[in-house]
């Protein structure tokens, strides 16, 4: 059984998610602050950590950043009320494998956790939209085209996700296997995390100021 760990400073939300997920997953533990979370996650070594983005003491970013440094095998799913682009992109760039908003339905959340445990990435429609937006401009001259551009197929997969289709439906609509959809999404995630293009940072910061 997949073990999960929960980090959220809202007790009420934490207990709700714990109840919803305890049937399908083994809940290894939970904490409401950043420091305990980092220590406990290193000790417990869960498969997937659900982490809130906005918390006192550095927030989800510092949890993901700290643990990712020492235990790159532990996977993170960011869970937040915010769907602001800068939050989403920052979490993914720090190493989260997926980003969903707290309004997600319990079943969809469980599916997302399982997909992440299996090594895939989870893109919500909003996240797919942000990525398409961020990678839409022409590639800068000195950029690495391998990393800084999406292939037409990846772009098409993201568009389908942005239109609200589940991975399985995307596979049917594009006449490819679900595994191929997952491969494309993971490739996009990797590009998003490794891409050095300064446009990405500028894109996020512009949206914060505007």
User: Contact residues for other proteins (CB under 8 A)?
Assistant: 84, 125-126, 128-129, 132-133, 136, 159, 162-165, 205, 208-210
Nearer to other proteins, 71 or 136 (CB): 136
Instruction: Identify the H or E element spanning 77.
Output: strand 75-80
Q: Closest distance between other proteins and the C-beta of residue 210, in Å?
A: 7
- Closest approach, Cβ 150 to other proteins, in A, equals 12
Q: What is the Cα–Cα distance from 177 to 2, expressed in whole angstroms? A: 24
Task: Write down the least CB distance from residue 207 to other proteins, Å.
Answer: 9
**Nearer residue to other proteins within complex by CB, 34 or 74:** 34
CB of 81 to other proteins, least distance (A): 8
Specify the length of the chain in residues.
Answer: 210
Min CB(185)–other proteins separation in Å? 16
Max intra-chain CA distance, the chain? 51
Query: Would you say 84 or 200 has its CB closer to other proteins?
Result: 84
Comparison of 18 and 126: residue with beta carbon closer to other proteins: 126
List all residues 6 or more positions away from 205 whose beta carbon is below 8 Å from its beta carbon.
Answer: 86
Closest CA to 14 of 58, 50, 63, 59: 50
Nearer to other proteins, 36 or 111 (CB): 111
**DSSP per residue over 142-170, as a string?**
TS-HHHHS--HHHHHHHHHHHTT--HHHH
């Amino acid at each position: 059984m997949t073990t999960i760990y929960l980090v959220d400073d809202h007790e009420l939300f934490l207990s709700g998610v714990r109840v919803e997920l305890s049937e399908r997953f083994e809940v290894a533990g939970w904490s409401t602050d950043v420091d305990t979370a980092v220590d406990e996650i290193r000790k417990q070594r869960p498969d997937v950590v659900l982490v809130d983005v906005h918390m006192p003491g550095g927030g989800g970013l510092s949890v993901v950043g700290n643990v990712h440094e020492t235990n790159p095998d532990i996977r993170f799913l960011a869970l937040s009320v915010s769907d602001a682009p800068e939050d989403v992109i920052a979490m993914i760039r720090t190493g989260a494998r997926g980003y969903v908003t707290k309004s997600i339905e319990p079943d969809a959340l469980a599916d997302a956790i399982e997909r992440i445990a299996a090594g895939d990435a989870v893109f919500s429609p909003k996240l797919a939209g942000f990525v398409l937006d961020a990678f839409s401009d022409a590639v800068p001259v000195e950029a690495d085209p391998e990393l800084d551009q999406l292939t037409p197929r990846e772009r098409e997969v993201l568009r389908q996700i942005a239109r609200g289709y589940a991975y399985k439906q995307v596979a049917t609509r594009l006449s490819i296997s679900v595994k191929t959809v997952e491969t494309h999404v993971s490739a996009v995630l990797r590009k998003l995390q490794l891409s050095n293009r300064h446009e990405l940072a500028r894109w996020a910061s512009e949206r914060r100021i505007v």
